[in-house]
Amino acid sequence: MIFAAGLGTRLKPITDTLPKALVPVGGKPLIEHVARKLKASGIEEAVVNVHHFAEKVETWIGEQDIMKMEVSDERGMLLETGGAVLHARRYLEGCGQFLIHNVDIISDLDIRWFESQACDGALATLLVSERKTSRYLLFAPDTMRLVGWTNVATGEVRSPYPDIDPSSCRMLAFSGIHMMSDKVFDVLDSYAREKDLDMENPRFPIMDFYLSVCAEYEIYGVEAEDLHLVDVGKLDSLEMAENAISRLCPIIN
């Protein structure tokens, strides 16, 4: 699943007339870089959620010949990342495991390697790395099981474990790339109902879900050493992405 529905507010004014998925980097839209990377890794089908300038993304999908793509329509309401997965259930359930990739992430990740690292029996496996940020995921150092989240700038800590000490955990940055078991859908459904969300349009972030259920269900991190990644979610990272695209995405450059 490619997350492509976001408003791209940090990329204004470009996204005043263009969805984030179609913002060009190296002469190609972001979604094309992601799609070709997935295809080169052996992935033949993808689900793409759409909201902001949805018709423009649908037109691109209709014209591309990279892989089979289904559209998960969020025109009525942007469902955030957790709601987006639950909304796309009919496309993803039954496949065993599926990969989720943010449309604005450009990296040199070996996706086949990451898929091979997905933990058997886990509800989800998150790609993480040692990267400077203000917000870190917290993992048990011996097992790499998710135990919480912290914002080092504010000191905020979120965890189902009330006495957790972030300094005793592995603190790693999330990449926006993760693997999920399709057993996740019943758990997502229960979570949305417990939160009394509108089940027609269940809107919630996937990280809130992960942090809520990680004590009960196995969610692990896999650290990618020497990962080079650009988050093209804001204007000042566009130039960085332009300079790095040939190295990070040699497939189409």
Residues 22-40 have pLDDT tens digits of 999 988 999 999 999 999 9
**Tokens standing for 38?**
């997935």
For the chain, what is the domain count? 1
| pTM across the whole model | 0.93
SS3 34: helix
In a domain, 125, yes or no: yes
Give the C-alpha separation, 55 to 169, whole Å.
44
Identity of residue 163: D
Residue 236 has pLDDT above 90, yes or no: no
Residue 133 belongs to some domain of the structure: yes
The CATH number of the domain where 223 resides is what?
3.90.550.10
Is the pLDDT at 50 greater than 80? The verdict is yes
Q: How far apart are CA 36 and CA 204, in angstroms?
A: 29
Q: Please confirm whether the linkage preceding 13 is cis (ω < 30° from 0).
A: yes
The confidence score (pLDDT) of residue 156 equals 96
Identify whether 253 is part of a domain: no
CA-CA distance, 39 to 37, in Å (whole number)?
5
Calculate mean pLDDT across residues 190-212. Answer: 96
Q: What is the DSSP secondary structure assignment for residue 22, as one 8-state letter? A: G
User: Which residues span the domain enclosing 177?
Assistant: 2-248
Q: Report how far residue 177's alpha carbon sits from residue 126's, in angstroms, rounded to the nearest whole number.
A: 7
> Considering only 81-90, 173-182, 232-241, which range has the smallest mean pLDDT?
232-241
251 has pLDDT over 60: no
pLDDT score at 226: 86
Q: How confident is the model at residue 253 (pLDDT cuts 50, 70, 90)?
A: very low
Give the other-Cβ count within 10 Å of 234's Cβ: 13
DSSP track, 202-248: ----HHHHHHHHTTTS-EEEEE-TT--EEETTSGGGHHHHHHHHHHH
The answer to whether position 216 is within a domain reads yes
Q: What is the pLDDT of residue 249?
A: 67
The per-residue pLDDT for 52 is: 94
List C-alpha distances in Å: 149 to 137, 154, 211: 4, 12, 8
Q: Which two tokens stand for residue 122?
A: 């886990």
Domain membership flag for residue 20: yes
Separation between Cα atoms, residue 40 and residue 15, nearest integer Å:
28
Pick from 6-10, 67-71, 246-250 the range whose average pLDDT is largest: 67-71
Q: Does the pLDDT value for residue 209 go beyond 50?
A: yes
Contact criterion met (CB below 8 Å) for 159 and 148: yes
Looking at residue 246, its pLDDT comes to 67
